[in-house]
Amino acid sequence: MEDLLIPIFGIIFVFGSPVVIVALALAAYKRKRALMHETINKMIDSGQPVPADMIAAFEANKPDNHLKVGAILLATGLGLAFFLTVLTGPKIASVAALPLFLGVAFLILHKLDKPSARVNG
């Protein structure tokens, strides 16, 4: 029975850790947005004008920067492909095609964006 516990806990931690990390990141993002909403509502209720910087920061949280995301995913895919090719061979390195092609897709989205819609380049 004890020999069975180590693989069970290993599987739980390997597959459970990413779920926990994503859940914590989403909870932190949700809390940050709620605090910003609360602050803006308090300012409106007290009759104070809401600064444009605060509204711009609130809008800046949207993931519209396709160039940045595309470059990161492209570099991740290339690095992963090189690492896996050296370590295991080209068959396993094909796993790196997913972030590689996602990065290319984001770069294409950036190129297709209308110039007036771009905020950061």
Q: What is the pLDDT of residues 23-60, one digit of tens each?
A: 999 999 899 889 988 988 898 899 988 888 877 776 66
Across all residues in the chain, what is the average pLDDT? 83
Rounded Cα distance between 59 and 18, Å, is: 28
Q: Which residues contact 74 (CB under 8 A, 6 or more apart)?
A: 99, 100, 103, 104, 107
Q: Could you tell me if 96 and 77 lie in one domain?
A: yes
Please check whether residues 51 and 71 belong to one and the same domain: no
On whether both 31 and 73 belong to a single domain, the answer is: no
Report how many domains make up the chain.
2
CA 58 to each of CA 20, 23, 54, 91, 114: distance values in angstroms, whole numbers, following the listed order: 26, 21, 6, 44, 22
Same domain, 94 and 107: yes
In this structure, the answer to whether residues 112 and 78 fall within a common structural domain is: yes
Task: Please check whether residues 57 and 67 belong to one and the same domain.
Answer: no
Q: Are residues 11 and 48 in the same domain?
A: yes
Do residue 114 and residue 96 come from a single domain? yes
Q: Which of 80, 82, 39, 32 is nearest to 60 (CA)?
A: 32
- Does 7 share its domain with 53? yes
Asked whether residue 53 falls in the same domain as residue 78, the answer is no
CB 81 within 8 A of CB 93: yes
- How far apart CA 65 and CA 60 sit, in angstroms, is 10
Domain that holds residue 1: 1-61
- Rounded mean pLDDT, 109-116: 74
